[in-house]
Structure 1
Amino acid sequence: MSSLQQLALELFDAGAVRLGDIEAKIGRRTPVYFDLRVVVSHPRIMSAVAEHLQRLASEINHDLLCGVPYAALPFTAVMSVNTGVPMIMKRKETKLYATRKLIEGVYHKNQTCLVVEDVVTSGGSVLETVRTLRDEQLNVTHAIVVLDREQGGVSVLKANGVKVVSLFTLNNLTKILRDAGRITDDTVDIISDHIKGCQFGVMYNSGDAITPS
């Protein structure tokens, strides 16, 4: 068993993969929900996730790391400490006092920033972070993620000039879990049907790619 397959099982056993009829963002239902926030209580697993993301990052030119708030921030911080690559943070909202910043940390115009995310579904959260970084005149060409749900978000980001590299795809992850006896063939089929039936696309506005509404 590879270290990545072992990580998939550890994430499942830690409760990061939840199954059932679950309400996701903006009222959508999903048969599987990936919740990496629980991993902050499992330091060894958090370290393993960061190490696998570091391997992806090592193949991509970058000067800075920026985690999408909030689930990706712990992994990004561990990566920064392990590799010595500076980290910056995007706030959910502009600071209303003192510096009134939206980006925290030290950075310079034209540096290249690698975005780190836990899960990509529609691509909206990553794209929001990318646009904020680009507004600060930082270069953003890549994002590394733990899971690509294969529901169109990667295509949305590609249309906006961001290449996504993931540790897992949802199909790949479910097959690992099925082969290890964690989930059944029926569950795999349900998840596969959900992926096919819930896709996010790219629309265009005056020639610029944008995420779906």
Structure 2
Amino acid sequence: MTSTLQDLAVQLFDAGAVRLEDIEAKVGRRTPIYFDLRVIVSHPKLMVAVSHQLEKLIKDVHHDMICGVPYAALPLAVVISINTDRPMIMKRKETKLYATKKLLEGVYEKNQTCLVVEDVVTSGGSLLETVETLRKEGLIVTHAVIVLEREQGGASVLEANGITVKSLFTLTNLVRMLHKAGRIDNDTVELIFDHIKECQFGTKDNLE
């Protein structure tokens, strides 16, 4: 599995899903490495490969259905749903303003277990927002599967809210894989590792 993830890390980098630049992240802080999984919708084989690895992580996790955090994780949730023959529901960004006025789309019943799929966790806020919506509808949420855990406190926040997080990559091992493959030099590795130490989230006040 490690060699497969090594190859996947390189493919994600080459596809532009991992970008090395000084950029302002969603939470308002600057980051030397940016992860944009949205680009893989233009790379079907890569999207299937990422989904396949996520499926391995959830093999022993009980769940009745799947929900992807909008919007980047939705394509992955769709592929996983099809491959595993597991029903999927969708959370809307905003409540529907007409007809049923739903926030969740799909068929579900109270006390069913829903697995959440996410692309990247930094502070954990976006994923937690989806979890809270699902729980308000009477669904049970205990696990989330993600592509990248940025090691900035988000996983701990989620675990404090009863969510076990399983990730394909941590930022540390992703950077090491890319360094080994010659995609990242020593100076960039040091810069990213310093960033991980300096940028930590630990309260719900600054979740995004």
Name the TM-score class by shorter chain.
over 0.9
Q: Deviations over 1:135-179 (max 9, x none)?
A: 000000000000000000000000111010100000000000000
Q: Does the residue aligned with 1:40 lie in a helix, a strand or coil?
A: helix
Tell me what 2:59 maps to: 58
The code of the aligned residue for 2:74 comes to: L
The offset of 1:2, in angstroms, is: 1.1
How does the TM-score come out when normalised to structure 1? 0.95
The code of the aligned residue for 2:9 comes to: A
Deviant stretches of 4+, over 2 Å: 210-213
The code of the aligned residue for 1:86 comes to: P
Tell me what 2:187 maps to: 186
How does the TM-score come out when normalised to structure 2? 0.97
Answer yes or no: is the 8 Å Cα contact 1:147–1:169 preserved in 2: yes
The code of the aligned residue for 2:187 comes to: D
Alignment of 1:73-92 (within 5 A): 73-92=74-93
The offset of 1:86, in angstroms, is: 0.3
The code of the aligned residue for 2:182 comes to: G
Structure 1 unaligned spans of 5+: 203-209
Tell me what 1:206 maps to: none
The offset of 1:4, in angstroms, is: 1.0
Q: Distance in 1 between matches of 2:73 and 2:58?
A: 14
The offset of 1:212, in angstroms, is: 3.5
Task: Kindly tell me the number of residue pairs found equivalent between the two proteins.
Answer: 206
Tell me what 2:41 maps to: 40
The offset of 1:28, in angstroms, is: 1.4
Q: Give the number of the structure with larger relative contact order, counting CA–CA contacts within 8 Å between residues 6 or more apart.
A: 2
Answer yes or no: is the 8 Å Cα contact 1:156–1:211 preserved in 2: no
Q: Distance in 2 between matches of 1:184 and 1:48?
A: 26
Q: Distance in 2 between matches of 1:26 and 1:15?
A: 21
Q: Identity percentage over the alignment?
A: 69
Structure 2 unaligned spans of 5+: none
Q: Does the residue aligned with 2:167 lie in a helix, a strand or coil?
A: strand
Answer yes or no: is the 8 Å Cα contact 1:116–1:145 preserved in 2: yes
Alignment of 1:189-204 (within 5 A): 189-202=190-203
Answer yes or no: is the 8 Å Cα contact 1:133–1:140 preserved in 2: yes
Alignment of 1:160-179 (within 5 A): 160-179=161-180
Q: Distance in 2 between matches of 1:147 and 1:180?
A: 18
Alignment of 1:1-213 (within 5 A): 2-202=3-203, 210=204, 212=206
Task: Tell me the C-alpha RMSD between the 2 structures.
Answer: 1.0
Q: Does the residue aligned with 2:166 lie in a helix, a strand or coil?
A: strand
